[in-house]
Structure 1
Amino acid sequence: MAQRFWYLIPICTWLVLLLFAAAPAEACGCGVYIPREGEGTVVQERALVRWDGQTEDIVMALGVQGNTTEAAWIMPVPAEATVQLGQAELFDTLQELTKPRVEYRYGLIPPSTFGPGAAMDGAVGGAAPVMLLQQQTLGPFEVSTLAATDASALSDWLADNGYTFPDGLADVLQAYVEQEWFYIAARLTSGANGQGLSGELDPLWITFPSEELIYPMRATALATGVMPVYLYVLTDHRVEKAQTFGDSRVAFAGWIEPASLPTESPLTPFVERKLFLTKFEERIWDPPSVNDDYHFSPAATDEVYHDVEIVYQYDIGGVPIIILLLAGACLVGLIIIVGGTVLLLSRQRRRIATAQ
């Protein structure tokens, strides 16, 4: 039996009920978001990745817009994973921790910026093509764990169970099939209120064994517009990534210790000891060019970096600086004129006194 399972590619699936072919798939950095009906778009993706050399955790939150009440999200992972809900406040905490340091400067003319920037498949060994390994409910998510031998088998299983397999996804999954990866697909529902899925969804916390630090990105090739990716990476040291598919930058790099975190911080479960946090921001202008995942490696040094936001002030005490400068110039000019006049009159008096 174990030999048979060796040939299976484990797939952790978050299902979508009755997805229609007319509903377009919207890729996000770590997977594919598939609305059941109507429209659904991923407008923001934030992920925390922690790796200790043996185990990797990915906590991801999607910000979505649209009017669909049900959707699915499919994500590949390199090994069989466990899934649990993450804390909704996690990314607010990370954003506050890594926000730019503010420096104030006085100026007359606001600085100008130009250019784009951030607002920043066949069965093997006779094994069953698809097997349902586990089902669970996590808050608003219905999660199923599947093992499948190829992308076509996964497509057939989804179709048989009322789900639409988006065009082009089989090609994306094929690379993971060849590497014997698992997959995660989630069924998302807005609940009894019937309102559309919109805003930031609850984060999901995925854990799996991994000998390398990796973040799945190939599904981004299915995106139809500019794709922003924000990654917070927690490891023993600063890391760098070799793959860049757009404008990429490090927005924060620094040490975090448990003692520095507030009581009951959402980061506490992830920072059990001193770790280095590296924040990557990338804006992918041409998603179809994405043909690989993010692979991370140790940086040459643990250099600390903090973004600096320059805030220009154009008044002092509510008075525009330009007016203060003009008033100061006039005052200096007046002092010079008065001083010169007094000096001239004083010299004239001395001349008159000398002549007498």
Structure 2
Amino acid sequence: MKLWRVVAGVLAVGFVAAGVTPAWACACGGYLPDAQSQARAYGETALVQHTGSTEQITLSMAVHGASKKAAWIMPVPSAAKVELGDSELFWRLDRMTQPKRVVRKTYWPFRDLGIMAGSRGTAAGAPGSGVNVQQQMVLGPFAVTRLTGTSGTAVTDWLRTNGYVVPATLAANLTPYLTEKWEIVAVKLAPKKDGESMYGATPPLRLTFASQRIVYPMRLSKGATTAQTVTVYVAAEHRVDATKVPYDGVRLQLLFAGRVEDKALPKPADYLTAYTASYSDPSRITDDFTFEPATNDDPYQRITYVTENDGLLSTILVLAVGVLLLGGAAAVLARVLVKRSAAKR
């Protein structure tokens, strides 16, 4: 499976053609296509794993259109180890968290006419002054730089000098992270061939860093200009509840909760909780998503009810009805013939 399903939602980024500033719409970072392209990131899937005091975020973006100088950045609370992730991870997560399919049988003889049907899904009882370059590396099609900075302006100046597209709002949106001494991971496309472009789903990147809490960075999305939908998979030792959302009024919808078996989710952090959330006004964002252990580990799975016709019993029912109808018709015909015979006498 070379293309990963984007469960997490639609995270549209504005075009940068004709001088329009790209919107910072990704859930935990920002996608920056080059100024000559009309490529946009339309989705992002992320897995947040937390064990003890270590957190991992693995993410992949889906890009529509081609961009030869695409890039994105992501803030993390501490120094990060950056590496390529499992190429089939998100496909497996999507399969594991799908609604349970419950079949309800019908024996109605008129199949697929919408009679006695019920397929509705329901929920069961989401280089410059002031910048320190920590590390630079090439991973697959990406050139990765880890850096720290004294101010948002210093970091954006460095990004601009090094070929990144820099929106006007980026410095202000980076400032809270830099004030808290977070590290910035900047990623650019590094084509192996001249003229190579990025499109489709990007290879997943995995960032590992120290963190006492489970956090999913959101504050850079403050610069987005369109409504956003975010889906976050959280793998930990127990089921988790959200303790902070990007702003008051954002509601998380639980998609799945339960222990799962997957090579990427080793025990004891094999309890997967999936949430999705939509927010219509990204400019109101003031915080990240944070999670903590829930009061219980009750499992949860959505249910989709599907009504299916039982072909054999339906056939028997049709034959039985046919026999009754034929029998009735024969009886009526017999009575008519008897009456006619009696009349002739």
| Shift in Å, 1:97 | 1.8
For the residues of structure 2 that align with 1:103 and 1:50, how far apart are their CA atoms? 30
After superposition, residues 292-331 of structure 1 pair within 5 angstroms as: 292-313=287-308, 316=311
Deviation at 1:53, TM superposition (A): 2.6
**Aligned equivalent of 1:254, options 234, 238, 258:** 258
Which of 7, 31, 53 is residue 29 of structure 2 equivalent to? 31
Q: In structure 2, what is the Cα distance between the partners aligned to 1:328 and 1:196?
A: 65
Match of 1:117 in 2: none
Distance 1:290-1:76 versus aligned 2 partners, 3 A rule: same
CA shift at 1:328, angstroms? 6.1
- Distance, in Å, in 2 between the alignment partners of 1:93 and 1:301 is 25
Deviation sequence 1:68-109 (CA, Å, 0-9, x none): 212110111111111011011111121122222211224853
TM-fit CA distance, 1:187: 0.5
The superposition leaves residues 269-322 of structure 1 with CA deviations (integer Å, 9 ceiling, x where unpaired) of: x414362111112233333233210010211210101122222335736x9x7x
Which residue type is aligned with residue 276 of structure 2?
E
Map 1:49-88 onto structure 2 (within 5 A). 49-88=48-87
Instruction: Tell me if structure 2 keeps the 8 A contact 1:26–1:32.
Output: yes
- Cα gap change, 1:150 to 1:101, in 2 (>3 Å): same
Q: Which moved more, 1:288-297 or 1:28-37?
A: 288-297
Shift of the 309–155 alpha-carbon distance from structure 1 to 2, 3 Å rule, reads same
Aligned-residue Cα RMSD (Å) equals 3.4
Flag the 1:21–1:185 CA change in 2: closer, same or farther, 3 A.
farther
- 1:196 Cα offset (Å): 3.5
Matches within 5 A, 1:193-272: 194-242=195-243, 243=245, 246=250, 248-256=252-260, 260-261=261-262, 265=263, 267=264, 270-272=265-267
Q: Summarize the alignment of residues 130-141 of structure 1 with structure 2, pairs less than 5 Å apart.
A: 130-141=131-142
Paired position in structure 2 for 1:170: 171
Q: % of aligned pairs identical? A: 34
TM-score, L = length of structure 2: 0.76
Q: Which runs of 5+ in 1 are unaligned?
A: 1-18, 115-119, 121-127, 345-356
Aligned residues: 302
Q: How does 1:106-185 map to 2 (within 5 A)?
A: 106=106, 109=114, 110=117, 129-185=130-186
Q: 5+ unaligned residues in a row in structure 2: which ranges?
A: 1-16, 107-111, 336-345
Distance 1:274 1:149, change over 3 A: closer
**In structure 2, distance between residues paired with 1:206 and 1:273:** 20
Q: What does 1:10-25 align with in structure 2 at a 5 Å threshold?
A: 24-25=22-23
For 1:47 and 1:188, how far apart are their aligned partners in 2? 19
